[in-house]
Amino acid sequence: MNSRTPSTLPALAGRRLDELRASAPLVQAITNTVVSTVTANSLLALGASPAMVDAPGEAGAFAPIADALLINLGTPQENTVAAMHEAAESAGRAGTPWVLDPVAVGALPLRTTAAGLLVAARPTVVRGNASEIIAVAGAGSGGRGTDSTATVADAEDAARELAVRTGGVVAVSGAVDLITDGTRTARVHNGHILLTRVTGGGCVLGAVMAAFTAGGGDPFEAVIAATVVYGLAAERAAALAPRPGSFSVALLDSLDAVTAGLVEQKAIIR
């Protein structure tokens, strides 16, 4: 990790959180209809500014204006898929960092084809569960809808290969999140099982990653910081509200409440 070691990464993640809040990055989110409001509110709670610009003819024009872009394939329609391609190509030309969340790829043809084309556009980050990452890498057929049927360990080789192919970072979400750029690998042990029992638990993480990559610098470190901050917010929310309905609200509050000091104290990165 160059001069970085696991012992210095928590402090770095805390500094990145402070920098994010100071800059209030503008995050363009082309995301699924199920989580659009949750995603926008989560970005606001974190300290970023959401822009849900997802129409063809506008999405590509907006990507150079945004500080970062999220593309989430959760509920693909022909018009939004067209907007995704516009935005990805425009972001690539402008140097806008962008995150691809290939939700439920593998078994369903529209999203699987779209994901393949978007991967070819070289996203800064690809984030998904183990089955999604395996499918995007071409090493499997996907999971059961949005649920993974593979483990993070199963996806480790596919994640590294995909990172090398895209020249970016791949994040595999699970009980312990794995993050790799093909050479370096980190594991983040923060988080809570309740994230799997509410709508948008993984999708929001993709948006948080986009917000952290907006600051520039090393995207590998940005994705580690995003994963730690989101995981700690989930831990805090679960301590306050141990049922799914109240947890959803507490998670928003906790994204607002998490501090650099808490990150430095509680981050678990291997």
Cα three-residue angle 88-92-94, rounded to 5 degrees: 115
Which among 143, 146, 135, 257 is positioned nearest to 197, based on CA atoms? 146
Which among 193, 183, 219, 247 is positioned nearest to 100, based on CA atoms? 219
pTM of the model: 0.94
84 marked ligand binding residue: no
Give the 3-state secondary structure of residue 116: helix
36 marked ligand binding residue: no
Q: How confident is the model at residue 146 (pLDDT cuts 50, 70, 90)?
A: low
173 marked ligand binding residue: yes
Q: Is residue 92 over pLDDT 60?
A: yes
Residue 245 tokens, joined: 């309905």
If one compares 141 and 208, the residue with the highest pLDDT of the two is 208
- The domain 9-265 is classified under which CATH number: 3.40.1190.20, 3.40.50.2300, 3.20.10.10, 3.40.50.10490? 3.40.1190.20
Q: Are 150 and 104 in contact (CB under 8 A)?
A: no
